[in-house]
């Protein structure tokens, strides 16, 4: 039997990993080396730094992160010390892409424009960016994609993508190498954006130079910014919080589907590592809204807006973070039930083929 320490925000962690031994849950942000006495398996999310100072002299033989990214993990240290590792690539990518769609529809409504009249620039076309691209293409929105790590003749350079009306960031955090992303969004980057551009960041907080962004917003009030990630989480920049159009506490990928998917992926990897036969199959609760029916007279854009907001309305999370006494980590820990678009079934008349294509492209089920 094994002793497991897990971040308390990993869902169903007791159910999934109880077969391996004792499972203790902790606040991942406050985890210390003293908590790891006798521990063989460590399961975290992005708030825990995995490095020598945490793991030295511990008995940990396997580390798993229930997240797409792993910039919080010192992979070299794990390899040098023969410590197994697994992450959950793509687990919350669908939810993060749906977050972007919700944000864009809300901004379009507020500013009274049609998304199809805008061009969207996507920086980073991996797990999340590729899903954003697919959903925007389903809505017939022109996209410009920049990703120097992927070979695609349709991709454009950074200067070109910055000519878009909307720019959304989906890059990993890299401080070195040929294509660093630390402070990718700096004064020069911001100066190249259109005066009334929309900028969305769901990647990592330090991809943006927050001081440069704050100064830019003071000088250019027509720039619209949506932030889900921040430099000093959970102690975020309160001035910047007031300046941006929509602000959320690092929950873009926080659908229950995505989090459970991450738990499942770690469970499978740990079963392989400890040579156990998988036997756990999670049961998810039903979504708050699971069915909609549209008449033959409804406008396509109205139908899309209703469907998206019925599944996920970003304004709820933005309002919660903007409250005077909002606690960043508490909002994450007590995040309300959110299911992905695929859990909503929509009934529309057979002749509404264009609407059907758009809704299916976004990920909804039709009948």
User: Which residues have a Cβ under 8 Å from the Cβ of 288 and sit 6 or more positions away?
Assistant: 337, 339
The verdict on 80 and 205 lying in the same domain is no
The verdict on 16 and 130 lying in the same domain is no
169 lies in which domain range?
93-247
CA gap 295, 346 in Å, rounded: 11
Residue 320 has φ and ψ, to the nearest 5°, of -60, -40
Query: Domain containing 341 — which CATH number?
Result: 3.30.1370.170
What is the 8-class DSSP label of residue 65? E
Helices (H) and strands (E) in the chain, counts: 14, 14
The verdict on 199 and 174 lying in the same domain is yes
The verdict on 112 and 62 lying in the same domain is no
The verdict on 116 and 83 lying in the same domain is no
What is the 8-class DSSP label of residue 122? E
Looking at the domain assignment, is residue 104 inside a domain?
A: yes
Q: How many CB atoms lie within 10 A of CB 179?
A: 13
pLDDT tens per residue across span 29-56:
999 999 999 999 999 999 999 999 999 9
Is residue 106 classed as helix, strand or coil in its secondary structure? helix
The verdict on 133 and 230 lying in the same domain is yes
Looking at the domain assignment, is residue 285 inside a domain?
A: no
The verdict on 214 and 70 lying in the same domain is no
Residues labelled as active-site residues: 204, 233, 250
pLDDT tens per residue across span 152-186:
999 999 999 999 999 999 999 999 999 999 999 99
Per-residue pLDDT of the chain in tens (367 residues, 90 and over written 9): 679 999 999 999 999 999 888 999 999 999 999 999 999 999 999 999 999 999 998 999 999 999 988 989 999 999 999 999 999 999 999 999 999 999 999 999 999 999 999 999 999 999 999 999 999 999 999 999 999 999 899 999 999 999 999 999 999 999 999 999 999 999 999 999 999 999 999 999 999 999 999 999 999 999 999 999 999 999 999 999 999 999 999 999 999 999 999 999 999 999 998 888 999 999 899 999 999 999 999 999 999 999 999 999 999 999 999 998 899 999 999 999 999 999 999 999 999 999 999 999 999 999 9
46: left (phi over 0), alpha (psi -120 to 50) or beta: alpha
């Amino acid at each position: 039997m094994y002793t497991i320490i897990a971040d308390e925000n990993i869902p169903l962690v007791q159910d999934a990993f109880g077969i391996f031994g004792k499972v203790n849950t902790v606040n991942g942000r406050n985890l210390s080396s003293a908590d790891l006495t006798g521990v063989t398996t460590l399961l975290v999310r992005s708030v825990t730094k995995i490095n020598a100072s945490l793991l030295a002299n511990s008995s940990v033989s396997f580390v798993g992160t229930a997240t797409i990214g792993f910039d919080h993990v010192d992979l070299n240290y794990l390899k040098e010390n023969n410590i197994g590792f697994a992450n959950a690539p793509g687990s919350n990518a669908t939810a993060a892409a749906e977050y972007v769609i919700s944000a864009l529809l809300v901004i379009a409504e507020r500013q009274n424009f049609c998304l199809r009249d805008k061009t969207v620039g996507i920086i980073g076309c991996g797990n999340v960016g590729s899903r954003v691209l697919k959903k925007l293409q389903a809505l017939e929105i022109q996209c410009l994609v920049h990703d120097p790590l992927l070979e695609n003749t349709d991709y454009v350079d950074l200067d070109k993508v910055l000519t878009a009306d909307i720019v959304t960031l989906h890059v990993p955090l890299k401080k070195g190498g040929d294509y660093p992303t630390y402070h990718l969004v700096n004064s020069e980057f911001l100066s190249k954006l259109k005066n009334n551009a929309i900028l969305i960041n769901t990647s990592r907080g330090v991809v943006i130079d927050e001081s440069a962004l704050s100064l830019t917003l003071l000088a250019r009030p027509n720039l619209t910014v949506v932030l889900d990630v921040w430099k000093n989480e959970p102690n975020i920049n309160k001035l910047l919080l007031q300046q941006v159009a929509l602000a959320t506490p690092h929950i873009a990928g926080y659908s229950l589907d995505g989090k459970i998917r991450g738990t499942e992926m770690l469970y499978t990897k740990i079963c392989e590592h400890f040579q156990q036969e998988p036997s756990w199959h999670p049961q998810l609760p039903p979504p708050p809204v699971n069915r909609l029916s549209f008449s033959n007279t409804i406008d396509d854009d109205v139908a899309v807006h209703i469907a998206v907001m019925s599944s996920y309305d970003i304004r709820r999370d933005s309002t919660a973070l903007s409250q005077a006494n909002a606690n960043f980590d508490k909002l994450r820990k007590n995040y309300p039930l959110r299911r992905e678009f695929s859990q909503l079934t929509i009934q529309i008349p057979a002749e509404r083929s264009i609407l059907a294509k758009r809704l299916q492209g976004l990920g909804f089920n039709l009948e």
